[in-house]
C-alpha cells in the first residue's frame, strides 16, 4: 500500500500542466519542465525541502527563516510563495523563491523587494570552475533573474560554494527529526512508568517491545566491544544513536516524511559528534599507538604513523558515508521503479505502457520497501556496532 501512495504522489506531481502560468508567458522552458526527468525526480525525492508535498498542488507550508548580509532577516511561512506545479513559487518574497520545494535567493540585486509575481523558470548550462553546471533562472516582468545556489560549506568540492544568504528554515527533515524525538520521549517515558508500576513483574506493553532490543545492544554490542567494567559510561549514547537512527529510518519509509538519514549533512554531523566523543574519551594508550607506537621500529613508524593519523579521520567518514549511501540508494531505487510508469507510458502518451509500468512499479516497489525495512534495522545496528568498537579501541588499556 505504501508503494501505491508513493506512485500516486509522483503521478499527481507530473499530471499538472501549465495551468498556473499565463499562456502568453509559456515558452520552451515551461514546456521543458513537463518532460519527465527520472534523475531530477529521484534527487528531488531525497532532497530536504522547505514544504511538505502531499499531492498535486497541495503543500504543507513550513517556516522560512532566511538571512542575507546587508538585507537582514526574512521570516514567513512558505505558503506565501503560492507554490504550484513541482513546488515552484509563483511569487518572490524579498528576493526569495521556491524551486522544486527548496528556497533559493535571486542573486540579481536589481530585482525588486516585496512580493513579485513569477511567471516561470528556465535552466541554462554555464561554465563554472572548468565544469559545465546547470543554473536556474526565475522569470519576472519579462526578464530572467539568476538564482543563487544553496548555501554549502564544502568550499566547492561537492558543487556548492559561497552564497548571498543563509537558510535557517524549519525544513521537512527537521520536522521529521522533531516528530521522531517526541515519539521516543513518549515511548521511553511509558517504559519508565511501566517499570515503576510493575516492579518485579514481567514486562508488558511497550516494555516487552523495547527491553529485548536494549538488552541485545548491551549484551551483543556494548559489553563485547567496550568491556563489562566500562560499557555503562557509553551505553546511553549507544542506545541514543541506535534508536534515533532506527526511528528516522523507519519514519523515512513514509512518502510525506523527510529523508533524514539519506541526507549527507545529517550523517556528517552524526559522525562528527561520534568522532569527537570517541577521541575526547581516548586514553593515553590510544594516543600513544597513533603517534608513537611503542615497541615498533623507527623505520616502520614513519610508514604507520601517517596511516594511524588518517584512520582518525577515515573512521567517521566511513560512518557518515555508509549510512547516507545505503538509505539514499534505497529511496532513489524506489523512485526509479515508480518512474517506470512514465518511461513505459511515454509521459502519458501510451495508456497501455503506463498500465504495464504501473504493474511493474507496484511489484518492484513492494519488494524494495521490504528491503528498505530490513536496511533500516541493519544500518542502525551497524552504526552503533562500529561506534562501540571505536569506544573500545579508544579506552582499551594496552600492556607490554
User: Confidence band (pLDDT; 50, 70, 90) for 75?
Assistant: very high
Task: Find all residues with CB under 8 Å of 62, minimum gap 6, and list them.
Answer: 50, 51, 52, 77, 78, 169, 170, 171, 172, 175
Tell me, yes or no, if the pTM score tops 0.85: no
Q: Return the pLDDT at 161.
A: 59
Q: Return the pLDDT at 41.
A: 63
Q: Return the pLDDT at 10.
A: 39
Mean pLDDT of 187-206: 83
User: Confidence band (pLDDT; 50, 70, 90) for 244?
Assistant: very high
Nearest to 166 by CA among 177, 155, 154, 152: 152
Nearest to 176 by CA among 269, 82, 248: 248
> Is 22 a residue whose pLDDT tops 50?
no
**297 to each of 91, 306, 311, 343, how far by Cα in Å?**
69, 15, 20, 62
For 32, the 3-state DSSP assignment is: helix
Q: Please write down the long-range contacts of 272-280, taking CB distance under 8 Å and 24 or more positions apart.
A: 272/316, 274/241, 274/316, 274/319, 274/387, 274/390, 275/312, 275/315, 275/316, 275/319, 277/237, 278/315, 278/387, 278/390, 278/391, 278/394, 279/312, 279/394
Q: Which residue has the cell 594516543?
A: 287
d(Cα 311, Cα 307) in Å, to the nearest integer? Answer: 6
Please provide residue 47's backbone torsions phi and psi, each rounded to the nearest 5 degrees: -70, 155
Q: Return the pLDDT at 183.
A: 92
The length of the chain in residues reads: 400
Nearest to 129 by CA among 162, 96, 100: 162
309: Cα within 13 Å, side-chain hemisphere? 8
Q: Return the pLDDT at 180.
A: 94
- Contact between 65 and 168 under an 8 Å Cβ cutoff? The reply is yes
Higher pLDDT, 96 or 12: 96
Higher pLDDT, 93 or 264: 93
Mean pLDDT of 380-400: 87
User: Confidence band (pLDDT; 50, 70, 90) for 217?
Assistant: very high
d(Cα 68, Cα 51) in Å, to the nearest integer? Answer: 21
Dihedral sign (CA 109, 110, 116, 119): negative
Q: By 3-state DSSP, what share of the chain in percent is helix, strand and coil, each rounded to 5? A: 55, 15, 30
> Is 26 a residue whose pLDDT tops 50?
no
Q: Return the pLDDT at 35.
A: 55
Tens-digit pLDDT profile for residues 141-158: 889 999 987 755 554 455
* Mean pLDDT for the chain overall: 81
> Is 23 a residue whose pLDDT tops 50?
no
User: Confidence band (pLDDT; 50, 70, 90) for 248?
Assistant: very high
Amino acid at each position: 500500500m505504501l508503494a501505491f501512495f508513493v506512485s500516486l504522489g509522483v503521478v499527481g506531481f507530473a499530471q499538472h500542466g501549465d495551468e498556473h502560468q499565463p499562456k502568453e508567458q509559456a515558452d520552451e522552458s515551461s514546456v521543458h519542465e513537463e518532460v519527465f526527468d527520472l534523475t531530477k525526480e529521484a534527487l528531488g525525492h531525497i532532497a530536504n525541502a522547505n514544504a511538505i508535498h502531499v499531492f498535486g498542488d497541495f503543500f504543507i507550508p513550513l517556516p522560512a527563516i532566511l538571512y542575507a548580509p546587508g538585507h537582514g532577516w526574512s521570516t514567513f511561512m512558505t505558503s506565501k510563495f503560492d507554490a504550484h506545479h513541482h513546488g515552484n513559487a509563483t511569487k518572490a518574497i524579498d528576493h526569495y523563491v521556491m524551486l522544486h520545494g527548496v528556497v533559493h535567493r535571486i542573486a540579481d540585486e536589481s530585482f525588486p523587494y516585496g512580493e513579485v509575481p513569477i511567471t516561470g523558470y528556465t535552466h541554462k548550462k554555464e561554465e563554472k570552475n572548468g565544469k559545465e553546471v546547470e543554473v536556474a533562472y526565475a522569470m519576472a516582468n519579462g526578464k530572467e533573474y539568476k538564482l543563487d545556489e544553496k548555501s554549502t560549506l564544502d568550499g566547492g568540492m561537492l558543487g556548492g560554494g559561497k552564497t548571498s544568504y543563509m537558510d535557517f528554515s524549519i525544513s521537512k527533515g527537521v520536522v521529521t527529526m522533531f516528530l521522531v524525538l517526541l515519539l521516543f520521549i513518549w515511548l521511553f517515558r511509558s517504559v519508565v512508568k511501566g517499570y515503576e508500576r510493575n516492579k518485579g513483574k514481567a514486562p508488558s506493553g511497550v516494555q516487552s517491545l523495547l527491553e529485548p532490543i536494549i538488552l541485545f545492544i548491551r549484551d551483543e554490542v556494548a559489553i563485547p566491544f567496550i568491556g563489562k567494567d566500562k560499557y555503562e559510561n557509553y551505553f546511553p549514547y549507544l542506545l541514543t544513536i541506535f534508536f534515533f537512527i532506527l526511528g528516522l529510518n523507519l519514519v523515512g519509509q513514509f512518502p510525506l516524511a523527510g529523508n533524514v538519514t539519506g541526507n549527507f549533512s545529517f550523517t556528517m554531523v552524526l559522525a562528527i559528534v561520534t568522532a569527537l566523543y570517541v577521541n575526547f574519551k581516548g586514553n593515553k594508550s590510544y594516543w600513544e599507538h597513533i603517534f608513537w607506537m611503542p615497541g615498533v621500529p623507527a623505520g616502520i613508524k614513519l610508514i604507520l604513523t601517517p596511516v594511524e593519523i588518517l584512520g582518525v579521520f577515515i573512521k567517521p567518514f566511513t560512518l557518515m558515508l555508509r549510512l547516507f549511501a545505503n538509505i539514499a540508494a534505497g529511496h532513489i531505487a524506489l523512485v526509479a521503479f515508480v518512474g517506470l510508469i512514465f518511461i513505459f507510458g511515454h509521459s502519458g502518451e501510451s495508456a497501455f505502457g503506463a498500465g504495464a509500468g504501473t504493474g511493474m512499479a507496484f511489484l518492484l516497489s513492494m519488494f524494495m520497501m521490504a528491503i528498505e525495512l530490513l536496511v533500516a534495522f541493519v544500518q542502525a545496528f551497524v552504526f552503533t556496532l562500529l561506534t562501540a568498537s571505536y569506544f573500545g579501541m579508544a579506552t582499551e588499556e594496552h600492556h607490554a
